[in-house]
Amino acid sequence: MKNKIIILLLFFSIQFTSNSLADHCGHDMDRTWFYTSNFSSNYQVSKSRAKYQKWTFKNKTDKQITIYSVGLWSKGKKVMKEQTVKKYLKPFGVASVKMYVGDLNLDVAGSGFSRCEYGKPVVKKKTYNQKPSTYSKPKTYYKPKTKKRRNDDNFTLFNLFLLAVAGVLILVFVAATKKNEYKKYVKKFPKVFDFADQTIICFKKYSTFKGRAQRKEYWYFYLFTFIVSVLTYFIDVSIFRKDPDGILFINAFFSMLTFLPSIAAGCRRLHDVNKSGWWQLISLTVVGIIPLIIWLASKSVKENNKF
């Protein structure tokens, strides 16, 4: 009689454990995982290149399942890492989870594991202990106004003005090189063409540090570099939409193009006032800019000029 009772107990215990195992959420979904090289990658890599462990869960039933955590066993069946995810897997749904494993020694890594339960994730509501008699004024938050983005497709009047100024400069210099064909305009605008002539002279003497240059030659060239520098800056920012704090390619190219002619013109201008061209270096002291401007704006020294 005792033996029959023991056998019945064993039978019911085995049946209960098998039913409980059959009802486990892990049997109601397919689980696969592999290593990836970065978070956004979906391609499998070797352990030596692995940074993340990607899990894919597929629900085979109409039950709601919550994946609470994923992890990685070592070859000795010890937990190397476990990450809480609380990922909801809807009926017949698919979900994916990634865990960072770049800080682990994957040479001793074994299989992966996951923990799950039936139902949706439980969200705990925050409770506030506040006395009913006291009244607290609700907090007001300042919401900054968002600036309207400029429409990059709009061709503004300012852009048209920039192109017009650039076109006028080009026409003036073209006309200055062919004065015989544009005699009418040369007579009407003598200062404009004089400005173009002196600028062309400085470009022709771009590497000539010997000789002398009058005030008109130097300051007309300086005016030209200033106008075109401002023009190229606004063309970069307004037309080509470059970042003002970044590299402005057209402006930078023009600065490199006029750097040597500017130094050469300054050297010849200092020679004209009986000063060495090396005096331009005092501008590096900042304070020396004042006497340098005075010398560059002084009249020519014709008597006892060693240059």
User: 238-275: per-residue pLDDT in tens?
Assistant: 777 666 666 788 888 999 999 999 999 999 999 999 99
d(CA 4, CA 9): 9
Q: What DSSP state is assigned to residue 240?
A: S
d(CA 181, CA 258): 28
CB 277 within 8 A of CB 266: yes
Residue 215 phi, psi (nearest 5)? -60, -40
d(CA 72, CA 82): 7
Closest CA to 178 of 193, 190, 189, 192: 193
Residue written as token pair 């995810």: 85
What is the distance in angstroms between the CA of the first residue and the CA of the last residue of the chain? 132
Amino acid at 136: S
Amino acid at 18: S
d(CA 229, CA 223): 10
pTM for the full predicted model: 0.48
Residue written as token pair 């402006």: 251
Q: What is the pLDDT of residue 6?
A: 58
Per-residue pLDDT tens digits of the chain, which is 307 residues long: 555 565 656 555 555 444 444 456 878 888 888 899 888 878 888 888 898 999 898 998 888 899 888 998 888 888 888 998 888 888 999 988 898 988 888 888 888 888 888 888 776 666 555 555 555 556 655 555 555 544 444 557 888 888 888 888 888 888 777 776 676 777 788 888 888 889 899 999 989 999 999 999 999 999 999 999 999 888 888 777 666 666 788 888 999 999 999 999 999 999 999 999 999 999 999 999 999 999 999 999 888 888 7
184 burial (CB, 10 Å; 0-12 / 13-18 / 19+) is exposed
Task: For the chain, list the strands marked E by DSSP.
Answer: 29-36, 52-59, 65-74, 79-89, 94-100, 109-118
